[in-house]
Structure 1
Amino acid sequence: MVKNSDISLFFNPKSIAVVGASETPGKVGYNVLKNIIESKYSGKLYPINPKAKEILGNKAYKSVLDVPEEIEIAIFVIPGKFVNQIAEDCGKKGIKGLVVITAGFKEIGGEGIKRELQLIKVAKKYGMRIIGPNCLGFIGINYNGSFAANTPKKGEIAMISQSGAMLTGMMDYSMDQAFGFSCNISLGNKADLDEVDFIEYLADDPNTKVILCYLESIENGKKFLEVVSRVARKKPIIILKSGV
Structure 2
Amino acid sequence: MMTFSLVARDPKTGMFGAITATAGPAVGALVIHGHSHTGAIATQAMTNPLYGIQGLALLKRGFNARQTLDKLQADDPERQRRQLIIVDKSGNTAHCNGIHCQEWVGSRIHDNLAVAGNFLGGPETLDSLIESFVLHQALPFPQRMLAAMQAGAKQGGDRRGLRSAALKVWNDRDYADIDVRVDWSERPLEALEEVLSEVQGASYADFFEQLPRTHCSDWRP
Query: TM-score scaled to structure 1, two decimals?
Result: 0.30
Query: TM-score scaled to structure 2, two decimals?
Result: 0.32
Ranked by relative contact order (alpha carbons within 8 Å, sequence separation 6 or more), the top structure is 2
